[in-house]
Structures are given as structure tokens and as C-alpha cells.
Structure 1
Amino acid sequence: MIDTHAHIYAAEFDNDRDQVIQRALSQGVDKILLPNIDLDSIQPMLATEAQYPDICHSMMGLHPCYVNSDVKQSLSTIYSWFEKHHFIAVGEIGIDLYWDKTYKTEQEHAFITQLNWAKEMKLPVVIHTRDSIEETLQLLRSEQNGTLSGVFHCFGGSIEQAKAINDLGFHLGLGGVSTFKNGGMDKVIPSLDLDYVILETDCPYLAPVPHRGKRNEPSYTALVAKRIAELRGLDVNEVDRLTTENANKLFRLI
């Protein structure tokens, strides 16, 4: 299995990162993809990747929650990293209208700028959408020139939104929300096109049942796979095979 979205470089893992990695491996999770969020996360992310080079693979991007009035300077610094290091994707980027709409215009600018980097460098994008799927789709439609690919991470939308995302050639990242009884995904997952589904945790956030409310970690990817298998009437090994194949292809991991 591949955890396609994990912040294991975060301080929450400083005391037991190695044990967390070992638990992931014991559950069959052998690749962990690391999305960047801001300028401060770059060094810990790269240090984690350097410590586990066969397992961890980093991305580079500016998360919408860290967009502010200094967005142009932040983007300039983020962009400069692509000349210094190999990254598997542009991410984590997107629009977040849940916490604060103060910098909505700046968020849109950052999103479009980073989509254009992805076109330029022929890299997939990892998109964060919170209370913003429709706004994000509108921007993505205007920028999609047939070369953009990527994933709407932490997908929790409707069947119609899933289809709209797939129609643009984008994948859906399913994580802990898929296991929540009140998450509504039990009605959506049975109708998804599994050729466009990949697994993730978004750890340390959004731990799946039965760990909801606690620190999430990559080993719990297996619980997400199990829930998808139950909802689709499939063997969990088939879900593992399909989603791993999808992730390897999208992020060109093999």
C-alpha cells in the first residue's frame, strides 16, 4: 500500500518517527508521500525523506492555509526549491474557505501559479479543498490544457463532484473520513471509479475509526483500504493492488 499524503515530518512524530515507520511497514505500507505546507516545513520534510529514502518521497508546494499578504515572496522561495531537489509533485496546493476567507484572492493566485508550475515541470498536483470543491473545479477547468494531472486529497464530496473531478483526469484521495459513520462516504464510495482512487491518511490529522480523534499515522492506511473493500464487496488485497497501481502511475514512483 501507499500512503499518498502524510505529514510524518511534523513535530507530532518527533518522539517516535522510526516506530511509526516500522508500524507502517508491518501493515504493508511501503511508500509514504510527503506534501509540503509552507516555508518552515521544507527542512523537516527533506530531513525525513533523507532518513528514509526508499520509503518517503517529498513534494513541494504552498498550502492555502499558509497563504497571506506575502504570497508572492513565499511562492518565489518555494519555486526555487525545484532547482535544488527532485520532487514527485507540486503540493499541497489548493483553496481553503473553512477557516478564513481573508486571503481568498491570494489563495486563488497561489493555486493558479502552482498549477502553471506543474504544467511547466510536467508534475502531478496534490489539491487541498476545504469548503471549496466547486470553486477549485472552476479554476481547474480554466487551467486544464490536457496536461494537468493529480489528486483531490481527503475527498469527502458527492458522487457528482467525484465524476466532475474524474472528468478532468484527476484522482480522489480517500482517507480517514471514509470510515466515519457520519461522513457520508458510505453512500459515495460504492459508486466511485476505482481507477481514480488512491489511499492516504493526512496524518497526524483525521485518524480513521477506531482511532478517530487520536493522532493518525501511515499504518492506518490499511484501515481505509479495509473500509473501501467492505463498501465495494471486494477483497482488501484487490483494493491494495488497484490503489497502489494508481498511485505508482500518477506519481511515477516506478
Structure 2
Amino acid sequence: MILTDTHTHLYAEQFDEDRALIVNKALDLGIERFFIPAIDSTYYERMFALKKAFPKNIFLMAGLHPTHVRENYLHELAIVQKQLESGSFYAIGEIGMDLYWDKSFIKEQQKAFRAQIQWAKERQLPIVIHCRDAFDEIFEIMDELCDDHLTGIFHCFTGNQQQAEKVISYGFMLGIGGVVTFKNGGLNKFIADIPLEHIVLETDSPYLAPTPFRGKRNESAYLMNVLGTLVDLYGKDAEEIARITTANSQKVFGI
């Protein structure tokens, strides 16, 4: 059984004391593929070091996270463009809009999102979308720019069934992580109505740890808890869910 964590920040400071141990723990469980989203320019050195340490298992993205879109966003976007020129990235992400923490840069977030979507089309790369309190705003841009040349993942999907179906209509996958294990998360009420062919697995570690680790540091090994919940909800065995979701990740990322 091979599993894929399509969204994990293994380079984050929270893993500085035991990063290799955390990666190897996940590998021992059959989690063999880790897709690594970018945040801003300050993290690329860490990302490259992680790739060097686990070259067969780590797959990097480049992008500007919406919560890091600030006054200097044009400078940050220029760095993303420069990174993409290297050709060593498998997606542009994570990108999108986040209106939960701060709405003061909403226009800049929209511009950054649009620009990075265009780069994805030009380079035939998928995008990985971060959406928090911004479904309407993101859907407005996607309705305008999404076409047959754009694919990707709505990372950490936390919307309702109607929003899930809207995402699927774009040809995008739903990134399902720890939230599906929360009794009050909402996803567990309808996710089994969504065919597995539209789902990929993720942790978003070190954030959003699943039950029973909620509130603690998340890690890629906890993808097993997400898998276990989906086994219960779909009534399918773990091997089948692992096979389908990893095949979905291969379809999105091309590897």
C-alpha cells in the first residue's frame, strides 16, 4: 500500500528537532510521496534541504501563500517566477485567498492569485489552492480563468457539499485531511457522497492534526488517521482508498 501526502510543510520550524525521524516514521507506514507547498521566499532554502535529504520522496511546489501577500507582494511574486524557471517544481502552491486573518490586502491577494494561475497555465502546472473564508471570492476568479489548461487541488477542503461539487466541476481534486475526522467538522456528513476519484489525501502538517491528536503538532504519519476515517465513511478497505487517492495525485502532479 502506497499513500501520498499531497500537502505537508515538513520543512517548517516545528520539525527542526526531529525532521528525519518524522519523515522516516511516515515512510515506514507506506506514506512514500510528500508534496511540499511553498509559503514565501524565506522558506525555499529549507525546502531544498528537505528535497536533498529525501530526493525520491519529496516533491516541491513554488508559490506565494495568500496570508503572506503584503506590501512587498510584487517582489515575492518575482521570486516565485525565478524559482519556476528552474523547472524543478511540480505545482504552483499554495496560492489562493484567505480572508480569515486579515482583509486589508484583499485586492493584492486577488492579483497574486490571478497572476499565479496564469503562470500555471503557461507552464502546464497544477495549482494548489488555499481557501479560508473566501469561497465566493475564489469561485469568482476561477469562473473567469479556469479552463481545460488548468487543474489542481482545493487544499484542506472545508466547504459544504454544494461547494465541493463546484470544485469538482472545475476538474479539481478535493484535498481531504484532518478536518474529516472532526465530529463537528461537517465533512463527515457528506464526503462519502463524493466519488473517491475526486479526492486526494493530505495532512497540512504541522497544522490541523486529526482526531485524536487535535490541537497538537500534526505530522505526515497521521495521514493514517485520515485514511481510517475514510475507510469507515466509504465502507471500503484501506488498500483501495490508498490506491485510488494516490492515482489521483499522480494524475494531478504528473508523477
TM-score normalised per structure 1? 0.98
**For structure 1, which segment, 72-81 or 104-113, has the greater mean C-alpha deviation from structure 2 after superposition?**
72-81
Correspondence 1:188 to 2:195? no
Q: Deviations over 1:214-245 (max 9, x none)?
A: 10001111110110111111111111111001
Q: Give the distance between the partners of 2:87 and 2:246, measured in 1 at CA.
A: 25
Q: Secondary structure of 2:41's partner?
A: coil
1:41-120 → structure 2 map (5 Å cutoff)? 41-120=43-122
CA RMSD of aligned residues (A): 0.8
State the partner residue of 1:147.
149
Partner of residue 16 from structure 1, selected from 15, 18, 34? 18
Q: Give the distance between the partners of 2:41 and 2:127, measured in 1 at CA.
A: 18
Residue 140 of structure 1 aligns with an amino acid whose one-letter code is M
Residue 132 of structure 2 aligns with an amino acid whose one-letter code is R
Residue 198 of structure 1 aligns with an amino acid whose one-letter code is V
Shift, 1:145, TM fit: 2.5
State the partner residue of 2:177.
175
Residue 111 of structure 2 aligns with an amino acid whose one-letter code is H
Correspondence 1:130 to 2:132? yes
Q: Deviations over 1:6-62 (max 9, x none)?
A: 000011101101110111011110011100000101110111011101011100000
Q: Deviations over 1:137-186 (max 9, x none)?
A: 11011001221000000001111101100001111000000101110111
Q: Give the distance between the partners of 1:113 and 1:193, measured in 2 at CA.
A: 31
Residue 172 of structure 2 aligns with an amino acid whose one-letter code is F
Partner of residue 227 from structure 1, selected from 226, 229, 233? 229
Q: Secondary structure of 1:30's partner?
A: strand
- Can you give the 5+ residue segments of structure 1 that lack an aligned partner in the other structure? none
Q: Deviations over 1:80-136 (max 9, x none)?
A: 111124100000100000000000000000000000000000000000000111211
Q: Give the distance between the partners of 2:135 and 2:201, measured in 1 at CA.
A: 19
Q: Give the distance between the partners of 2:162 and 2:233, measured in 1 at CA.
A: 18
State the partner residue of 2:204.
202
Q: Give the distance between the partners of 1:249 and 1:222, measured in 2 at CA.
A: 22
Q: Secondary structure of 1:68's partner?
A: coil
Size of the alignment, in residue pairs?
253
Q: Give the distance between the partners of 1:202 and 1:230, measured in 2 at CA.
A: 21
- Can you give the 5+ residue segments of structure 2 that lack an aligned partner in the other structure? none
TM-score normalised per structure 2? 0.98
State the partner residue of 1:166.
168
State the partner residue of 1:252.
254
Residue 87 of structure 1 aligns with an amino acid whose one-letter code is F
Q: Give the distance between the partners of 2:131 and 2:85, measured in 1 at CA.
A: 27
Shift, 1:193, TM fit: 2.2
Q: Give the distance between the partners of 2:87 and 2:119, measured in 1 at CA.
A: 15
Residue 24 of structure 1 aligns with an amino acid whose one-letter code is A
Q: Give the distance between the partners of 1:242 and 1:6, measured in 2 at CA.
A: 19
